Structure 1
Amino acid sequence: METPYKLSFKKKRNWLWIPVLTLFLGVSSPAQAWPWQWNRFDKKEFKTGRWRTFHDADSKVLHYKGRYRHGKEVGSWKTYTADGKLYFTEKIRRRKESIKTVYYHPNGKVSHRGTAFLKDAEHGGVHFYWDGDWEYFDESGKPIGIKKFVKGEPSTKDPVPRQ
Structure 2
Amino acid sequence: MALWKESSYMLWKQVSPYCHMPHSLKFWDHAFQAATYLINRMPTSVLGMNSRHLNLHYTESDYKFLKAGMPGNMLNLFEAVKKAQAVVQVESGRIQKELAAAEFDGYCEGELIKVTLSGNQQPVRTQITEAAMELGSEKVSLLVTEAYKDAHQKSVKAMKERMSDIAQSLGMPPGFGDAMK
Give 1 or 2: higher strand fraction: 1
Fold similarity call, TM over 0.5: no
Q: Where on the TM-score scale, by shorter chain, does this alignment land: which range? A: under 0.3
**Normalised TM-score (structure 2):** 0.22
Computing the radius of gyration over CA atoms, which structure comes out larger, 1 or 2?
1
Give 1 or 2: higher helix fraction: 2
| Higher RCO structure, 1 or 2 (CA under 8 Å, sep 6+) | 2
